[in-house]
A and B are shown apart, each in its own frame.
Chain A
Amino acid sequence: MTLPNPLALIAEITHRCPLHCVYCSNPLQLAAADSELPASEWRRVFAEAAAMGVLHLHLTGGEPVARHDLEELVASAREAGLYTNLITSGLGLNQDRLARLVGAGLDHIQLSFQDSQPERADQIAGTKSHAHKIELAHWIREHSIAFTANLVVHGHNLNYLQEMLVFLEELRPDRIEVAHTQYYGWALKNRVALMPTAVQLENALRVLEAAQVRVKGRIRIDSVLPDYYAKFPKGCMGGWGQRMILITPSGEAWPCHAAGVIPGLAFDNVREQSLSTIWNESCAFQKFRGESWMQEPCRTCEQRHADFGGCRCQAFLLTGDAAATDPVCSLSPRHDVVLREIRSGQSSNVTTNSQLRNWIYRPNPSRSS
Chain B
Amino acid sequence: MMAIGENAKPALAAGCRWGGSKEQPVLLFPEGAIKVQATGLAILQLCDGQRSFSEIVSELQERYPEAPAKRIREESANFLEQLNAKRIVNL
Contact = CB atoms under 8 A, between A and B. Distances in A.
B28 interface: yes
Contacts of A143: 14
Nearest to B15: A146
A55 B33 contact: yes
Contacts of B19: 55, 81, 83
Interface in A181-236: 216-217, 219-220, 222
Nearest to A7: B33
Interface in B23-67: 26, 28-31, 33
Contact of B15 (A55, A145, A217): A145
Nearest to A222: B31
B85 A146 contact: no
Contact of A56 (B13, B16, B33): B33
A44 interface: no
* Number of chain B interface residues as a range: 10 to 19
A282 interface: no
B75 to A, nearest CB: 19
A55 B35 CA distance: 12
Given A108-B30, A217-B91, A220-B86, 9 more contacts: A81-B19, A145-B14, A145-B15, A146-B14, A146-B29, A146-B30, A175-B30, A175-B31, A220-B87
Interface of A: 7, 55-56, 81, 83, 85, 107-108, 110, 143-148, 174-175, 216-217, 219-220, 222
Interface of B: 3, 13-17, 19-20, 26, 28-31, 33, 84-87, 91
27 contacts: A55-B20, A55-B28, A56-B28, A81-B19, A83-B17, A83-B19, A83-B29, A85-B30, A85-B31, A107-B15, A107-B28, A107-B30, A144-B15, A145-B14, A145-B15, A146-B14, A146-B15, A146-B29, A147-B15, A174-B13, A174-B14, A174-B30, A175-B30, A216-B85, A217-B3, A220-B85, A220-B86
Q: Which 9 A-B pairs have the closest CB atoms?
A: A146-B15, A83-B28, A220-B87, A144-B14, A108-B30, A174-B87, A146-B30, A145-B15, A108-B15
